[in-house]
Amino acid sequence: MLKQRVITAIVLTPLILALIFLTKASVFATLLGLIFLLGMWEWTRMAGVRGRPLRAVCLLGYAILFALLWHLCKTPWWWLPVLIGLVWWLLALLWLTRNHFASQTSRGHALLKLVAGALVVVPAWCALVVMHGDMAQPDTGHGPWWVVFFACIVFGADIGAYSAGRRWGHTKLAPAISPGKTREGVYGALVCSGIVGLIGGALLKVPAKLLPAIVVLALLTVLFSIVGDLFESLIKRHAGVKDSGALFPGHGGVFDRMDSIVAALPIFVLGKFLLGL
C-alpha cells in the first residue's frame, strides 16, 4: 500500500506542478474545476444519489456554480464565497459531534449532503483560483509559489501524522468516525506543518515580524484539514464505502485526495489576505 502511494505521488507531482506553473489564471481555473468535478462525481454517489443521469444533473449544477463564481473571483468581493466556506467548516464541527445525523438513506438526507458538497468544494475552488492568480494582491506575481507553499503545509502535515501515528499512536482521535486516526498523529501533523510554515515563509521572503503569524496560520490550516478529512470519513461511513473511488492506486478516489485540501483552503487564503501577503 505504501509503495503504491509513493509511486502514485511521484507520477502526479510533475502534473500538478505543470498545472500550477504553466497555466494562466483562466486555464488553471478551468482545469481545477474539472478535477474538482471528478471529486464531486464521487461525492454524489456517497451522498446517496442513485442513477447516473441524476448524478450528471448534480454535476452540471456544480459546474454552473464554478462558472458564475469565476466572475466574482475577479472582483473585490472574492472573499465572500471563501468566507462562506470557512463558516461552513465551523458548522461541520457540529455535524462531526453528532455523527449519526443524516446517516439514514433518504431523499432529504441526500439533498442535504449535495448542498454540503457545494459548501465543501465551491469555496475551496474560489480560494485556490484567487491565490493562484494573486487576485487579492495582483502586483506580487507570487501566486503559484503560494499554492506550492500551501500544498507543502498540507502534505507535510499528512507525512507528520502518518509517521507520528505509526510510531506513537495510541489514543484514538475520533474512533466512531475514523478509527485509524490518533491524537499523536495530530501532534505530528502540527509539528511538521509548523516547521514547513517557518521555512516556507522565510523562502517566500515574508517579513520577519510576520513569520510567527505564518506559523500560526499553518497550524490553523492543518487543524481545518483534519476536520475535512474527518468529515469525508463520516460521509463515507454513512455510505458504507472505504474509499470515494479507485482512480489512484493506494490513494483511493479523487475526493480522497481533496478532503483535507478543500477544508484548509478557505482559512489559509483568508489568513494570507488578512496578513497582507
Q: Tens digit of pLDDT for each residue in 103-143?
A: 888 999 999 999 999 999 999 999 999 999 876 555 556 88
Alpha carbon of residue 230 to chain centroid: 12
The pLDDT value recorded for residue 139 is 52
- Residue from 93, 62, 35 nearest 258 by CA: 35
- Helical H segments across the chain, by residue range: 2-21, 25-47, 52-73, 79-97, 107-132, 143-168, 183-203, 211-239, 254-274
Alpha carbon of residue 214 to chain centroid: 19
Domain ranges for the chain, please list them: 2-274
d(CA 273, CA 163): 32
Residue 179 pLDDT exceeds 70: yes
pLDDT of residue 74: 87
Q: What is the pLDDT of residue 87?
A: 96
Return mean pLDDT, the chain.
Answer: 90
The yes-or-no verdict on residue 5 having pLDDT over 80 is: no
pLDDT at residue 140 in the model? 55
Q: 3-class SS at 173?
A: strand
- Pair 121, 262: CB distance under 8 Å: yes
pLDDT at 247 over 80: no
Three cell numbers written together for 169: 499512536
Average pLDDT score over residue span 21-48: 92
For the residues of 128-143, what is the DSSP string, one character each?
HHHHHTT-SSTTT--H
C-alpha cell at 42: 464521487
What is the model's pTM? 0.92
259: nearest Cα among 271, 269, 245 = 245
CA dist 205 → 142, 159, 229, 266 (Å): 11, 25, 31, 22
Q: 60 falls in which pLDDT band (50, 70, 90)?
A: very high
Rounded to whole angstroms, how far apart are CA atoms 93 and 84? 15
Q: What's residue 46's pLDDT?
A: 93
Residues 6+ apart with CB under 8 A from 121: 36, 39, 40, 43, 62, 258, 262
The pLDDT score that the predictor gives to residue 254 is 87
| Amino acid found at 233 | S
Q: Assign 35 a pLDDT band (cuts: 50, 70, 90).
A: very high
Q: Could you tell me what percent of the chain has a pLDDT over 90?
A: 69
Here the cell at position 226 is: 483534519
For range 89-107, the mean pLDDT:
92
